[in-house]
Amino acid sequence: MVMVILAILIWCAGWWVNSRLANSVAADTRAVKLAVPIIFGIVVLIVWELLVRGLEVSLVILPAPSLIVTRFAASLPILWQDFQQTILKGALSGYLIGCTAALLMAIAVDRSDFLRRGLLPVGNFVAALPIVGTAPILVMWFGFDWQSKAAVVVVMVFFPVLVNTVAGLRETSAMQRDLMQTYAASYWQSFFKLRLPAALPFIFNGLKISTTLALVGAIVAEFFGSPTVGMGFRISTSVGQLALDMVWAEILVAALAGSAFYGVMALFEKTLTFWHPSQRG
C-alpha cells in the first residue's frame, strides 16, 4: 500500500515539475526540451516498478523494469546472437537489397511516362496491403534461415521506397527542368545535379518509414519458422514458457535497434539535405 501511495505521489511530483518546466520562461531552451520527456520517462518507469511491487502483480503478467534490466544484462550473449540473426542478417541485408532495387526501379519508372502511369497506382495500392502476410510463402521458398527473412523485408520495403522516390523525382518545377535543357544538360547530368538532390527529402521519407517495416518483417517472418535463434523465435518461445522478462528484454533490444536504425537514417538525411527548409534552424 505504501508503494502505491508513493507511486501516486511520485507521479504528481513529476507532473508538477514538468508543468513548472513547460510553462516557465525557459521552456524553449534545448535543456528543458530534453529534460521534460526524460523526466516523464523516468517517472513512468518508477511508477511502473512501484505499482508492480506494491500491488504484487505476478511476474507472469507484468515484470518490473528492474527485473527486465537484470534479465537483459544476464542474457547479453543470447540477445547478441538474436540481434545478429534477425537485425544484422535478416533485416539489414533485406533493407539494403530492397531499397537499392526500389531506387533503380524508380529511375526506370521516372524515365518512362507509361510505366509511371501504370506502375505507380499499382505500387501505391500494394504499399497499403498487409504484405507481412507473404512471410509464410517466402519462408517456404527460401528456407528457415535468414535468407527468407531478408526476402520478406525486401518485399515490405520495396513499395514505400519506390512510391516516395518516384514522387520525389517529379518534385522539380518545369522551369527548373527547362533551365537544365537550355544548358544542354544530358538526362544523367540533370538527374544528378537537379532531380536527385530535389528528390532526397522524399527518398529519405521512404527510407525512414522502411526502417520500422524492415524490423517488423524480419521479426514476424520468424513466427512462420526459424532456426533456433533470432528475436522472433525467442519472443514466441519465451511467451510459450511464460518467461515474460525475456520477452521484454527482446523488446528492449528491438526498441534500441529500431531507434538507432531510424537515427542513423535521420543523420544521413541531415548531412545530405542540409539545404532543405525542414532541416534548417
Partner 1 sequence: MKTAIAVLTVLAVMAAIWYAACVPMNIKGVLDGAERAGVEITPATARERREMSALGLVADNSFAISEVWSQDRPRLPAPHQVAVELWQTTVEKRITSKRSLIYHGQVTLSATLLGFVIGTGLGILLAVGIVHSRVMDMSVMPWAIVSQTIPIIALAPMIIVVLYSIGVQGILPKAIISAYLSFFPVVVGMVKGLRSPDQMQLDLLKTYGASTGQGFWKLRFPASMPYLFASLKIGIAASLIGAIVGELPTGAVAGLGARLLAGSYYGQTVQIWSALFAAAILAAVLVALLGLIERRVLKRMGVQA
Minimum CB distance to partner 1, residue 22 (Å): 5
Minimum CB distance to partner 1, residue 41 (Å): 7
Query: Of 13, 76, 88, 122, which lies in the binding site for partner 1, with binding defined by CB under 8 A?
Result: 122
> Residue 111 has which C-alpha cell?
524515365
Q: Near partner 1 by CB under 8 A, which window of 11-19, 74-82, 174-182, 269-277?
A: 11-19
Q: For residues 50-69, which are near partner 1 according to CB under 8 A?
A: 60-62
Q: How far apart are CA 199 and CA 103, in angstroms?
A: 11
216 belongs to the binding site for partner 1 (CB under 8 A): yes
Query: Of 13, 19, 80, 88, which lies in the binding site for partner 1, with binding defined by CB under 8 A?
Result: 19
Number of residues that bind partner 1 (CB under 8 A): 64
CA distances in angstroms from 74 to 77, 83, 199, 246, listed in the order given: 8, 15, 46, 10
269 touches 208 (CB < 8 A):
yes
Query: What is the SS3 assignment for 225?
Result: coil
Minimum CB distance to partner 1, residue 255 (Å): 4
Q: How far apart are CA 250 and CA 259, in angstroms?
A: 14
Continuous H helices in the chain? 2-22, 30-54, 65-74, 76-83, 93-111, 113-127, 135-142, 146-169, 174-182, 187-190, 196-221, 231-240, 244-272
Binding site for partner 1 (CB under 8 A): 15, 18-19, 21-23, 27, 32-33, 36-37, 39-41, 60-62, 114-115, 117-119, 121-122, 125, 128-130, 132-137, 139-141, 211-212, 215-216, 219-220, 223-225, 231-232, 235-236, 239, 242, 244, 247-248, 250-251, 254-255, 258-259, 261-263
